[in-house]
Amino acid sequence: MAIKDSPKRKIFIFTNMFLLITISLVSLLPLLHVFAQSFSSGVAIDAGDVAFLPVEFTLDNFLFVFRDASILRAYGVTIFLTVVGTLFNLLATASLAYPLSRKEFLGRKYILLLVLFTMIFSAPLIPTFLVVQSLGLLDTIWALIFPTAISAFNLFVMRSFFINIPDELIDAARIDGMGEIRILFTVVLPLSKPALATLGIFYAVNHWNSYFQALMFIENPKLYPLQIKLRQMIVEDSFTNDPSGDFYSSMIQTSPEGIKMATIVVATIPILLVYPFLQKHFIKGFMLGSLKD
């Protein structure tokens, strides 16, 4: 038998739906405005005619982006940084989280306290710069990967997930003669796909949006990630380091805002496309990693 909702519950549901729809629209409308400008002509943008739908539809802004060698190079740097950096982050985080999740590792409490200390008190800027400089990483892509190898928060999430793996599986693997490294890669990590997907999203988004570290450690324009290139375009109005022909000069003069919006769209689309496929792992990883027997 169906249960009818009381008037108070109906009001509660309606209020929640109204608030959620309002918040969604507030979050979505600026993104729609960016998309609309990226497909609009420079004349329509300058006249203020573009709101949430393209006006005088054109693909010239995207043609400029994909024909600009400096933007494509920055895009390649960001893709490399995201893929390689995320894999290295997951490997480093799992390598530390596994021993810290085992009761037989006697020094785990002291290491956890040190990790927690770094989570509460982050390293100052100047000592961080000096460490990177002393390691010879300045002006290299590795300066954007190694200093952020392990996130303290992500480490605690992965450790909590590893703790939930039955000890019987680990003991059985040891009885079969496996070493700890082999256990990690053949037993623990295959069972930890939700946690790896969850933390992989965190690390990947962090690398994709990498800005401050690149600004601090990178001087070579050929190593600039996409976010630094966006900053040059939006703040400094520097559109290209590789001018080639009348197309570039005419586009920069007629549609600078459209080019900026098109570059923002190109920088945003990959994350928007990847997240839906990992969403179920994202939620499952957080739920399982937050439980403890």
The answer to whether residue 235 scores a pLDDT higher than 80 is no
Claim to verify: residue 69 and residue 171 sit in the same structural domain = yes
Domain count, the chain: 2
Q: Where does a domain end: 41, 58, 75? A: 58
More confident residue, 110 or 273: 110
Confidence grade of residue 43 (pLDDT, cut at 50, 70, 90): confident
Q: Which domain holds residue 279?
A: 60-289
CATH of the domain at 203: 1.10.3720.10
Claim to verify: residue 38 and residue 132 sit in the same structural domain = no
> Rounded CA gap, 139 and 8, in Å?
62
Average pLDDT over residues 49-68: 80
The answer to whether residue 284 scores a pLDDT higher than 70 is no
Average pLDDT over residues 28-52: 81
Claim to verify: residue 89 and residue 100 sit in the same structural domain = yes
Claim to verify: residue 147 and residue 120 sit in the same structural domain = yes
Q: What predicted TM-score, i.e. pTM, was given to this entire model?
A: 0.76
Claim to verify: residue 242 and residue 267 sit in the same structural domain = yes
The whole-chain average pLDDT of the chain stands at 80
Claim to verify: residue 45 and residue 97 sit in the same structural domain = no
Claim to verify: residue 214 and residue 241 sit in the same structural domain = yes
pLDDT of residue 88: 93
pLDDT, tens digit, 9 for 90 and up, residues 188-227: 888 888 888 888 888 888 888 888 888 888 888 888 888 8
Claim to verify: residue 94 and residue 16 sit in the same structural domain = no
Claim to verify: residue 158 and residue 240 sit in the same structural domain = yes
pLDDT of residue 253: 57
Claim to verify: residue 227 and residue 158 sit in the same structural domain = yes
> Rounded CA gap, 151 and 119, in Å?
8
Claim to verify: residue 226 and residue 257 sit in the same structural domain = yes
DSSP string covering 270-287, please?
HHHHHHHHHHHHHHHHHH
Claim to verify: residue 187 and residue 264 sit in the same structural domain = yes
Between 109-113, 180-184, 249-253, 269-273, the lowest mean confidence (pLDDT) is in 249-253
The answer to whether residue 151 scores a pLDDT higher than 60 is yes
pLDDT of residue 262: 83
The answer to whether residue 115 scores a pLDDT higher than 50 is yes
DSSP string covering 154-198, please?
HHHHHHHHHHTS-HHHHHHHHHTT--HHHHIIIIIGGGGHHHHHH
